[in-house]
Amino acid sequence: MTGPRLPDGFAVQVDRRVKVLGEGAALLGGSPTRLLRLAPAAQTMLDRGRLEVHDAQSAQLARTLLDATVAHPRPATGPSHLDVTIVVPVRDNAVGVARLVRSLRGMGVVVVDDGSVMPLQASDFCDLAGHCDVRVLRHDVSRGPAAARNTGLAACETDFVAFLDSDVVPRRGWLEALLGHFCDPAVALVAPRIVGLHEPDNLIARYEAVRSSLDLGMREAPVVPYGMVAYVPSAAIICRRAALDQVGGFDESLQSGEDVDLCWRFIEAGARLRYEPIALVGHDHRTALGEWFSRKAFYGSSAAPLSVRHPGKTAPLVISGWTLVVWVLLAMGSGVGYLASTIAAAITGRRIANSLRSIDTEPREVAAVAAQGLWAAALQLAAALCRHYWPVALVLAVCFRRWRQVVLIAAIVDGVVDWARRHHTVDDNTQRVGLLAYLLLKRLDDIAYGLGLWGGVVRERHLGALKPQIRT
Protein backbone atom coordinates (compact mmCIF):
# COMPACT_ATOMS: atom_id res chain seq x y z
CA MET A 1 0.00 0.00 0.00
CA THR A 2 1.31 3.42 -0.91
CA GLY A 3 0.19 6.81 0.29
CA PRO A 4 0.86 10.53 -0.05
CA ARG A 5 4.43 11.69 0.52
CA LEU A 6 5.40 12.32 4.10
CA PRO A 7 6.68 15.87 4.73
CA ASP A 8 10.34 16.67 5.32
CA GLY A 9 11.17 16.64 9.02
CA PHE A 10 8.74 13.80 9.70
CA ALA A 11 10.48 10.94 11.52
CA VAL A 12 9.74 7.30 12.33
CA GLN A 13 11.16 5.06 15.04
CA VAL A 14 11.35 1.27 14.75
CA ASP A 15 9.38 -0.37 17.56
CA ARG A 16 11.68 -1.61 20.32
CA ARG A 17 9.95 -5.01 20.24
CA VAL A 18 10.85 -5.59 16.58
CA LYS A 19 13.63 -8.17 16.11
CA VAL A 20 16.56 -7.09 13.95
CA LEU A 21 17.82 -10.07 11.94
CA GLY A 22 20.92 -10.58 9.84
CA GLU A 23 22.70 -7.50 11.22
CA GLY A 24 19.95 -5.21 9.94
CA ALA A 25 19.04 -7.09 6.76
CA ALA A 26 15.49 -7.73 7.95
CA LEU A 27 13.00 -6.69 10.60
CA LEU A 28 10.64 -9.16 12.24
CA GLY A 29 7.67 -7.83 14.13
CA GLY A 30 4.72 -5.53 13.74
CA SER A 31 1.06 -6.25 14.27
CA PRO A 32 0.26 -8.70 12.80
CA THR A 33 3.81 -10.10 12.77
CA ARG A 34 5.63 -9.97 9.45
CA LEU A 35 9.13 -10.19 8.00
CA LEU A 36 10.38 -7.04 6.26
CA ARG A 37 13.59 -7.38 4.22
CA LEU A 38 15.65 -4.20 3.81
CA ALA A 39 17.82 -3.32 0.85
CA PRO A 40 21.39 -2.24 1.65
CA ALA A 41 20.53 1.40 0.87
CA ALA A 42 17.58 1.25 3.28
CA GLN A 43 19.76 -0.22 6.01
CA THR A 44 22.12 2.75 5.84
CA MET A 45 19.22 5.23 6.26
CA LEU A 46 18.32 3.90 9.70
CA ASP A 47 20.22 5.35 12.63
CA ARG A 48 19.57 3.20 15.70
CA GLY A 49 16.13 2.45 14.32
CA ARG A 50 15.26 6.09 13.59
CA LEU A 51 14.67 7.62 10.18
CA GLU A 52 14.01 11.28 9.38
CA VAL A 53 12.41 12.22 6.07
CA HIS A 54 14.50 14.58 3.92
CA ASP A 55 13.93 13.42 0.34
CA ALA A 56 11.68 11.17 -1.76
CA GLN A 57 13.68 8.01 -1.00
CA SER A 58 13.60 8.45 2.77
CA ALA A 59 9.91 9.40 2.57
CA GLN A 60 9.15 6.14 0.77
CA LEU A 61 11.11 4.07 3.28
CA ALA A 62 9.36 5.80 6.18
CA ARG A 63 5.99 5.04 4.60
CA THR A 64 6.99 1.40 4.09
CA LEU A 65 8.05 1.02 7.72
CA LEU A 66 4.80 2.60 8.92
CA ASP A 67 2.60 0.47 6.68
CA ALA A 68 4.49 -2.66 7.74
CA THR A 69 3.60 -1.67 11.34
CA VAL A 70 7.21 -2.11 12.46
CA ALA A 71 7.75 1.62 13.16
CA HIS A 72 5.84 4.49 14.75
CA PRO A 73 5.57 8.12 13.64
CA ARG A 74 7.43 10.95 15.32
CA PRO A 75 5.83 14.05 13.76
CA ALA A 76 7.48 17.42 14.14
CA THR A 77 4.31 19.52 14.25
CA GLY A 78 0.57 19.43 13.65
CA PRO A 79 -2.63 21.46 13.23
CA SER A 80 -3.82 24.02 15.77
CA HIS A 81 -6.68 23.49 18.23
CA LEU A 82 -8.44 26.25 16.28
CA ASP A 83 -8.74 23.76 13.40
CA VAL A 84 -10.86 21.41 15.55
CA THR A 85 -14.55 21.37 16.45
CA ILE A 86 -15.72 19.17 19.32
CA VAL A 87 -18.94 17.18 18.73
CA VAL A 88 -20.69 15.77 21.81
CA PRO A 89 -23.60 13.35 21.33
CA VAL A 90 -25.72 13.13 24.47
CA ARG A 91 -28.95 11.70 25.79
CA ASP A 92 -30.09 12.36 29.36
CA ASN A 93 -26.69 13.31 30.73
CA ALA A 94 -26.73 17.08 31.19
CA VAL A 95 -24.35 16.83 34.16
CA GLY A 96 -21.79 14.93 32.10
CA VAL A 97 -21.96 17.43 29.22
CA ALA A 98 -21.42 20.38 31.56
CA ARG A 99 -18.45 18.59 33.16
CA LEU A 100 -16.97 17.89 29.74
CA VAL A 101 -17.43 21.43 28.40
CA ARG A 102 -15.68 22.87 31.47
CA SER A 103 -12.57 20.89 30.50
CA LEU A 104 -12.56 22.17 26.89
CA ARG A 105 -11.24 25.70 27.19
CA GLY A 106 -11.14 27.81 24.04
CA MET A 107 -12.83 25.22 21.81
CA GLY A 108 -15.80 25.31 19.47
CA VAL A 109 -18.32 22.73 20.72
CA VAL A 110 -21.43 21.30 19.06
CA VAL A 111 -23.70 19.46 21.52
CA VAL A 112 -26.22 17.16 19.85
CA ASP A 113 -29.13 16.33 22.16
CA ASP A 114 -30.38 12.96 20.96
CA GLY A 115 -33.92 13.05 22.33
CA SER A 116 -33.26 13.75 26.02
CA VAL A 117 -36.37 13.71 28.23
CA MET A 118 -35.31 17.13 29.52
CA PRO A 119 -34.09 18.93 26.38
CA LEU A 120 -30.79 20.73 26.55
CA GLN A 121 -30.81 24.44 25.72
CA ALA A 122 -28.08 26.85 24.75
CA SER A 123 -28.90 28.79 27.91
CA ASP A 124 -27.74 25.77 29.97
CA PHE A 125 -24.19 26.70 29.01
CA CYS A 126 -24.35 30.45 29.63
CA ASP A 127 -22.15 30.19 32.70
CA LEU A 128 -19.58 28.36 30.55
CA ALA A 129 -19.44 31.03 27.87
CA GLY A 130 -15.92 31.96 28.90
CA HIS A 131 -14.77 28.39 28.40
CA CYS A 132 -16.12 27.46 24.97
CA ASP A 133 -18.35 28.55 22.10
CA VAL A 134 -21.23 26.07 22.53
CA ARG A 135 -23.99 25.33 20.02
CA VAL A 136 -26.86 22.97 20.82
CA LEU A 137 -28.65 20.89 18.18
CA ARG A 138 -31.52 18.52 18.95
CA HIS A 139 -33.20 15.36 17.74
CA ASP A 140 -36.80 15.38 18.97
CA VAL A 141 -36.71 11.57 18.97
CA SER A 142 -33.63 9.55 19.80
CA ARG A 143 -31.91 8.30 16.64
CA GLY A 144 -28.82 6.75 18.25
CA PRO A 145 -25.25 7.95 18.78
CA ALA A 146 -24.21 7.42 15.16
CA ALA A 147 -26.95 9.75 13.89
CA ALA A 148 -26.14 12.30 16.60
CA ARG A 149 -22.48 12.34 15.54
CA ASN A 150 -23.47 12.76 11.89
CA THR A 151 -25.73 15.69 12.80
CA GLY A 152 -22.83 17.32 14.62
CA LEU A 153 -20.47 16.60 11.74
CA ALA A 154 -22.79 18.36 9.28
CA ALA A 155 -22.62 21.51 11.44
CA CYS A 156 -18.80 21.62 11.45
CA GLU A 157 -16.65 23.79 9.19
CA THR A 158 -13.19 23.11 10.60
CA ASP A 159 -10.72 20.70 8.98
CA PHE A 160 -10.84 18.34 11.96
CA VAL A 161 -13.67 17.05 14.14
CA ALA A 162 -13.23 15.50 17.59
CA PHE A 163 -16.02 13.27 18.87
CA LEU A 164 -16.27 13.05 22.65
CA ASP A 165 -19.02 11.21 24.52
CA SER A 166 -20.75 12.98 27.38
CA ASP A 167 -19.26 10.59 29.97
CA VAL A 168 -15.62 11.43 29.24
CA VAL A 169 -13.22 14.16 30.36
CA PRO A 170 -9.93 14.70 28.47
CA ARG A 171 -6.75 15.17 30.45
CA ARG A 172 -4.27 17.96 29.93
CA GLY A 173 -2.31 17.80 26.67
CA TRP A 174 -4.58 15.23 24.99
CA LEU A 175 -5.37 17.34 21.93
CA GLU A 176 -1.80 18.35 21.10
CA ALA A 177 -0.62 14.74 21.36
CA LEU A 178 -3.25 13.63 18.84
CA LEU A 179 -3.08 16.49 16.35
CA GLY A 180 0.59 15.90 15.58
CA HIS A 181 -0.28 12.69 13.73
CA PHE A 182 -2.24 14.63 11.13
CA CYS A 183 0.91 16.09 9.59
CA ASP A 184 0.86 12.73 7.78
CA PRO A 185 -1.69 13.49 5.04
CA ALA A 186 -2.74 9.82 4.92
CA VAL A 187 -3.95 9.79 8.54
CA ALA A 188 -7.74 10.08 8.81
CA LEU A 189 -8.34 9.25 12.48
CA VAL A 190 -6.38 9.31 15.73
CA ALA A 191 -7.58 8.04 19.11
CA PRO A 192 -6.30 8.50 22.67
CA ARG A 193 -6.09 5.98 25.46
CA ILE A 194 -9.30 5.85 27.50
CA VAL A 195 -8.79 5.31 31.23
CA GLY A 196 -10.99 5.44 34.31
CA LEU A 197 -12.26 8.88 35.24
CA HIS A 198 -12.52 8.22 38.98
CA GLU A 199 -10.40 6.44 41.53
CA PRO A 200 -11.64 2.81 41.69
CA ASP A 201 -13.87 2.33 44.71
CA ASN A 202 -15.05 -1.29 44.32
CA LEU A 203 -13.86 -4.58 42.85
CA ILE A 204 -15.41 -4.08 39.41
CA ALA A 205 -13.99 -0.56 39.21
CA ARG A 206 -10.51 -1.92 39.99
CA TYR A 207 -10.97 -4.57 37.29
CA GLU A 208 -12.09 -1.94 34.77
CA ALA A 209 -9.04 0.14 35.65
CA VAL A 210 -6.86 -2.58 34.14
CA ARG A 211 -9.19 -4.26 31.64
CA SER A 212 -11.81 -1.85 30.41
CA SER A 213 -13.12 -2.69 26.93
CA LEU A 214 -12.37 0.92 26.01
CA ASP A 215 -8.76 0.90 27.24
CA LEU A 216 -6.54 -0.40 24.42
CA GLY A 217 -3.34 -0.40 26.43
CA MET A 218 -0.10 1.50 26.84
CA ARG A 219 1.52 0.72 23.47
CA GLU A 220 1.20 3.08 20.52
CA ALA A 221 0.02 1.31 17.40
CA PRO A 222 -1.51 1.61 13.96
CA VAL A 223 -5.16 0.61 13.80
CA VAL A 224 -5.43 -2.38 11.48
CA PRO A 225 -7.69 -5.46 11.40
CA TYR A 226 -6.07 -8.48 13.12
CA GLY A 227 -3.46 -6.17 14.64
CA MET A 228 -2.73 -5.35 18.25
CA VAL A 229 -5.27 -2.51 17.92
CA ALA A 230 -7.94 -3.58 15.43
CA TYR A 231 -10.25 -0.62 16.07
CA VAL A 232 -10.71 2.32 18.45
CA PRO A 233 -13.87 3.30 20.37
CA SER A 234 -15.73 6.44 19.29
CA ALA A 235 -16.00 7.63 22.90
CA ALA A 236 -12.98 9.81 22.04
CA ILE A 237 -11.56 10.20 18.52
CA ILE A 238 -10.38 12.95 16.17
CA CYS A 239 -11.08 12.66 12.44
CA ARG A 240 -10.05 14.55 9.33
CA ARG A 241 -13.40 16.01 8.23
CA ALA A 242 -12.80 15.59 4.50
CA ALA A 243 -11.95 11.90 4.97
CA LEU A 244 -15.02 11.39 7.15
CA ASP A 245 -17.25 13.00 4.53
CA GLN A 246 -15.65 10.78 1.87
CA VAL A 247 -16.68 7.54 3.62
CA GLY A 248 -20.15 8.83 4.48
CA GLY A 249 -19.77 9.37 8.22
CA PHE A 250 -21.11 6.91 10.77
CA ASP A 251 -23.49 4.10 9.79
CA GLU A 252 -26.76 5.10 11.48
CA SER A 253 -28.27 1.64 11.04
CA LEU A 254 -25.86 0.20 13.61
CA GLN A 255 -26.86 0.42 17.27
CA SER A 256 -23.46 -0.83 18.40
CA GLY A 257 -20.11 -1.29 16.72
CA GLU A 258 -20.53 1.86 14.61
CA ASP A 259 -17.02 2.92 15.66
CA VAL A 260 -15.53 -0.39 14.53
CA ASP A 261 -17.37 -0.10 11.23
CA LEU A 262 -16.04 3.43 10.69
CA CYS A 263 -12.45 2.36 11.36
CA TRP A 264 -12.65 -0.49 8.89
CA ARG A 265 -14.31 1.62 6.20
CA PHE A 266 -11.52 4.15 6.60
CA ILE A 267 -8.93 1.40 6.18
CA GLU A 268 -10.75 -0.07 3.17
CA ALA A 269 -10.63 3.41 1.61
CA GLY A 270 -6.82 3.47 2.01
CA ALA A 271 -6.58 5.78 5.02
CA ARG A 272 -4.23 5.31 7.99
CA LEU A 273 -5.44 5.32 11.60
CA ARG A 274 -3.37 5.71 14.76
CA TYR A 275 -3.74 4.90 18.45
CA GLU A 276 -1.82 7.30 20.69
CA PRO A 277 -1.76 6.24 24.38
CA ILE A 278 0.20 9.30 25.51
CA ALA A 279 -3.05 11.24 25.10
CA LEU A 280 -5.41 10.31 27.96
CA VAL A 281 -9.18 10.69 28.24
CA GLY A 282 -11.02 9.72 31.43
CA HIS A 283 -14.22 7.70 31.12
CA ASP A 284 -16.95 7.23 33.69
CA HIS A 285 -16.91 3.42 33.74
CA ARG A 286 -19.96 1.36 34.65
CA THR A 287 -19.11 -0.35 37.92
CA ALA A 288 -22.44 -1.75 39.11
CA LEU A 289 -22.46 -5.50 38.41
CA GLY A 290 -25.69 -5.59 36.38
CA GLU A 291 -24.85 -2.54 34.23
CA TRP A 292 -21.30 -3.77 33.75
CA PHE A 293 -22.42 -7.26 32.63
CA SER A 294 -25.06 -5.82 30.26
CA ARG A 295 -22.55 -3.44 28.68
CA LYS A 296 -20.12 -6.31 27.99
CA ALA A 297 -22.93 -8.28 26.33
CA PHE A 298 -23.86 -5.17 24.33
CA TYR A 299 -20.32 -4.97 22.97
CA GLY A 300 -20.47 -8.63 21.98
CA SER A 301 -23.72 -8.14 20.08
CA SER A 302 -21.96 -5.94 17.50
CA ALA A 303 -19.75 -8.74 16.15
CA ALA A 304 -22.39 -10.41 13.98
CA PRO A 305 -23.63 -7.24 12.19
CA LEU A 306 -20.01 -6.25 11.62
CA SER A 307 -19.20 -9.66 10.15
CA VAL A 308 -21.95 -9.13 7.56
CA ARG A 309 -20.51 -5.75 6.54
CA HIS A 310 -16.84 -6.71 6.80
CA PRO A 311 -16.44 -10.44 6.05
CA GLY A 312 -13.48 -12.06 7.74
CA LYS A 313 -12.48 -9.10 9.91
CA THR A 314 -14.34 -10.30 13.02
CA ALA A 315 -12.61 -13.68 13.19
CA PRO A 316 -12.26 -14.85 16.82
CA LEU A 317 -8.72 -15.99 16.04
CA VAL A 318 -6.23 -15.78 13.21
CA ILE A 319 -3.89 -18.72 13.24
CA SER A 320 -1.55 -20.75 11.07
CA GLY A 321 -2.95 -24.11 10.03
CA TRP A 322 0.17 -26.01 11.12
CA THR A 323 0.20 -24.25 14.49
CA LEU A 324 -3.44 -25.14 15.00
CA VAL A 325 -2.62 -28.76 14.23
CA VAL A 326 0.13 -28.75 16.87
CA TRP A 327 -2.20 -27.64 19.67
CA VAL A 328 -5.14 -29.79 18.60
CA LEU A 329 -2.91 -32.85 18.67
CA LEU A 330 -1.52 -31.89 22.08
CA ALA A 331 -5.06 -31.45 23.39
CA MET A 332 -5.81 -35.07 22.47
CA GLY A 333 -3.61 -36.09 25.40
CA SER A 334 -2.46 -39.41 23.88
CA GLY A 335 1.00 -40.69 23.04
CA VAL A 336 0.14 -40.63 19.36
CA GLY A 337 -1.07 -37.06 19.71
CA TYR A 338 2.12 -35.95 21.48
CA LEU A 339 4.26 -37.58 18.79
CA ALA A 340 2.23 -36.09 15.97
CA SER A 341 2.31 -32.65 17.57
CA THR A 342 6.11 -32.85 17.82
CA ILE A 343 6.30 -33.66 14.11
CA ALA A 344 3.92 -30.80 13.29
CA ALA A 345 6.00 -28.41 15.42
CA ALA A 346 9.15 -29.52 13.57
CA ILE A 347 7.44 -28.86 10.25
CA THR A 348 6.45 -25.40 11.50
CA GLY A 349 10.04 -24.68 12.50
CA ARG A 350 11.26 -25.86 9.12
CA ARG A 351 8.83 -23.53 7.33
CA ILE A 352 10.07 -20.60 9.41
CA ALA A 353 13.70 -21.53 8.71
CA ASN A 354 12.97 -21.62 4.97
CA SER A 355 11.43 -18.14 5.12
CA LEU A 356 14.60 -16.84 6.80
CA ARG A 357 17.01 -18.71 4.50
CA SER A 358 18.07 -15.58 2.63
CA ILE A 359 18.95 -13.86 5.92
CA ASP A 360 22.00 -14.70 8.02
CA THR A 361 20.22 -16.05 11.08
CA GLU A 362 21.32 -18.47 13.75
CA PRO A 363 19.38 -21.63 14.67
CA ARG A 364 18.53 -20.18 18.09
CA GLU A 365 16.88 -17.18 16.40
CA VAL A 366 14.75 -19.53 14.29
CA ALA A 367 13.86 -21.55 17.38
CA ALA A 368 12.93 -18.38 19.29
CA VAL A 369 10.65 -17.19 16.46
CA ALA A 370 8.97 -20.62 16.26
CA ALA A 371 8.48 -20.83 20.03
CA GLN A 372 7.07 -17.30 20.15
CA GLY A 373 4.60 -18.16 17.39
CA LEU A 374 3.46 -21.35 19.11
CA TRP A 375 2.97 -19.60 22.44
CA ALA A 376 1.05 -16.71 20.86
CA ALA A 377 -1.19 -19.24 19.11
CA ALA A 378 -1.82 -21.06 22.39
CA LEU A 379 -2.94 -17.82 24.05
CA GLN A 380 -5.21 -17.03 21.09
CA LEU A 381 -6.83 -20.46 21.29
CA ALA A 382 -7.30 -20.24 25.05
CA ALA A 383 -8.87 -16.76 24.81
CA ALA A 384 -11.21 -17.76 21.98
CA LEU A 385 -12.25 -20.95 23.77
CA CYS A 386 -13.18 -19.02 26.92
CA ARG A 387 -14.71 -15.94 25.28
CA HIS A 388 -16.14 -16.64 21.82
CA TYR A 389 -16.72 -20.36 21.95
CA TRP A 390 -17.52 -20.91 25.61
CA PRO A 391 -21.03 -22.34 24.98
CA VAL A 392 -19.48 -25.04 22.79
CA ALA A 393 -16.61 -25.55 25.25
CA LEU A 394 -19.10 -25.93 28.12
CA VAL A 395 -21.04 -28.65 26.28
CA LEU A 396 -17.85 -30.53 25.42
CA ALA A 397 -16.58 -30.22 29.00
CA VAL A 398 -19.81 -31.70 30.34
CA CYS A 399 -19.68 -34.62 27.91
CA PHE A 400 -15.96 -35.47 27.84
CA ARG A 401 -13.45 -35.70 30.70
CA ARG A 402 -10.49 -34.78 28.49
CA TRP A 403 -12.27 -31.62 27.39
CA ARG A 404 -12.90 -30.67 31.01
CA GLN A 405 -9.13 -30.70 31.51
CA VAL A 406 -8.51 -28.70 28.32
CA VAL A 407 -11.10 -26.06 29.17
CA LEU A 408 -9.86 -25.75 32.75
CA ILE A 409 -6.24 -25.32 31.61
CA ALA A 410 -7.30 -22.77 28.97
CA ALA A 411 -9.33 -20.77 31.50
CA ILE A 412 -6.44 -20.66 33.99
CA VAL A 413 -3.70 -19.89 31.45
CA ASP A 414 -5.76 -17.18 29.74
CA GLY A 415 -6.64 -15.52 33.02
CA VAL A 416 -3.21 -15.75 34.67
CA VAL A 417 -1.33 -14.46 31.63
CA ASP A 418 -3.81 -11.60 31.17
CA TRP A 419 -3.56 -10.67 34.86
CA ALA A 420 0.24 -10.74 34.75
CA ARG A 421 0.29 -8.46 31.70
CA ARG A 422 -2.15 -5.91 33.04
CA HIS A 423 -1.81 -5.68 36.83
CA HIS A 424 1.25 -3.42 36.62
CA THR A 425 -0.51 -0.81 34.49
CA VAL A 426 -2.41 0.78 37.39
CA ASP A 427 -1.08 3.57 39.56
CA ASP A 428 0.91 2.62 42.62
CA ASN A 429 -1.75 4.21 44.83
CA THR A 430 -4.56 2.08 43.34
CA GLN A 431 -5.44 -1.19 45.02
CA ARG A 432 -4.80 -4.02 42.60
CA VAL A 433 -7.16 -6.87 41.82
CA GLY A 434 -6.02 -10.16 43.30
CA LEU A 435 -5.44 -13.09 40.97
CA LEU A 436 -8.48 -15.15 42.06
CA ALA A 437 -10.83 -12.16 41.88
CA TYR A 438 -9.41 -11.25 38.49
CA LEU A 439 -9.95 -14.79 37.18
CA LEU A 440 -13.58 -14.70 38.32
CA LEU A 441 -14.30 -11.29 36.76
CA LYS A 442 -12.45 -12.23 33.57
CA ARG A 443 -14.66 -15.27 33.19
CA LEU A 444 -17.82 -13.19 33.82
CA ASP A 445 -16.55 -10.65 31.27
CA ASP A 446 -16.08 -13.41 28.69
CA ILE A 447 -19.46 -15.01 29.45
CA ALA A 448 -21.21 -11.67 28.96
CA TYR A 449 -19.41 -10.94 25.69
CA GLY A 450 -20.09 -14.47 24.44
CA LEU A 451 -23.79 -14.17 25.24
CA GLY A 452 -23.97 -10.97 23.24
CA LEU A 453 -21.97 -12.51 20.41
CA TRP A 454 -24.15 -15.63 20.09
CA GLY A 455 -27.32 -13.57 20.46
CA GLY A 456 -26.18 -11.39 17.58
CA VAL A 457 -25.35 -14.44 15.48
CA VAL A 458 -28.87 -15.79 16.00
CA ARG A 459 -30.49 -12.43 15.16
CA GLU A 460 -28.40 -11.91 12.04
CA ARG A 461 -28.55 -15.59 11.05
CA HIS A 462 -24.93 -15.30 10.07
CA LEU A 463 -22.00 -17.34 11.43
CA GLY A 464 -19.22 -15.05 10.20
CA ALA A 465 -18.45 -13.76 13.71
CA LEU A 466 -17.67 -17.31 14.85
CA LYS A 467 -15.55 -18.37 11.87
CA PRO A 468 -11.79 -18.53 12.59
CA GLN A 469 -9.28 -17.44 9.98
CA ILE A 470 -6.81 -20.24 9.32
CA ARG A 471 -3.79 -19.23 7.27
CA THR A 472 -1.50 -21.48 5.32
The better pLDDT of the pair 335, 230 is held by 230
State the chain's mean pLDDT as an integer. 91
Q: What is the pTM of this model?
A: 0.91
What pLDDT score was predicted for residue 76? Answer: 78
pLDDT, mean of residues 177-183 = 95
pLDDT, mean of residues 77-85 = 90
What pLDDT score was predicted for residue 358? Answer: 66
Dist. CA 300–CA 451, nearest whole Å: 7
What pLDDT, in 10s, does the model give residues 381-399? 999 999 999 999 999 999 9
Residue type present at position 46? L
The better pLDDT of the pair 381, 131 is held by 381
pLDDT at residue 20 is higher than 80 = yes
The better pLDDT of the pair 423, 61 is held by 61
What pLDDT, in 10s, does the model give residues 203-234? 999 999 999 999 999 999 999 998 899 999 99
User: Which residues of the chain are in CATH 3.90.550.10 domains?
Assistant: 81-287
* CATH H-level, domain 81-287: superfamily: Spore Coat Polysaccharide Biosynthesis Protein SpsA; Chain A (3.90.550.10)
Dist. CA 31–CA 228, nearest whole Å: 6
How do strand 272-283 and strand 221-222 relate by DSSP bridges? antiparallel
What pLDDT, in 10s, does the model give residues 98-107? 999 989 988 8
pLDDT at residue 1 is higher than 70 = no
Q: Is 264 exposed, middle or buried (0-12, 13-18, 19+ CB in 10 A)?
A: buried
Dist. CA 369–CA 352, nearest whole Å: 8
What pLDDT score was predicted for residue 339? Answer: 80
Dihedral of the alpha carbons of 429, 430, 434, 437, in degrees to the nearest 10: 170
Could you give phi then psi for residue 221, rounded to 5 degrees? -165, 155
Which of 150, 136, 140 is CA-nearest to residue 117? 140
Sequence-distant (6+) residues with CB within 8 A of 357 are: none
How do strand 469-471 and strand 318-320 relate by DSSP bridges? parallel
What pLDDT score was predicted for residue 337? Answer: 72
- The confidence band for 360, taking pLDDT boundaries of 50, 70 and 90, is low
Alpha-carbon torsion (318, 321, 323, 328), positive or negative: positive
Dist. CA 436–CA 455, nearest whole Å: 29
What pLDDT, in 10s, does the model give residues 24-52? 888 988 888 888 999 999 999 998 899 99
- The confidence band for 128, taking pLDDT boundaries of 50, 70 and 90, is low
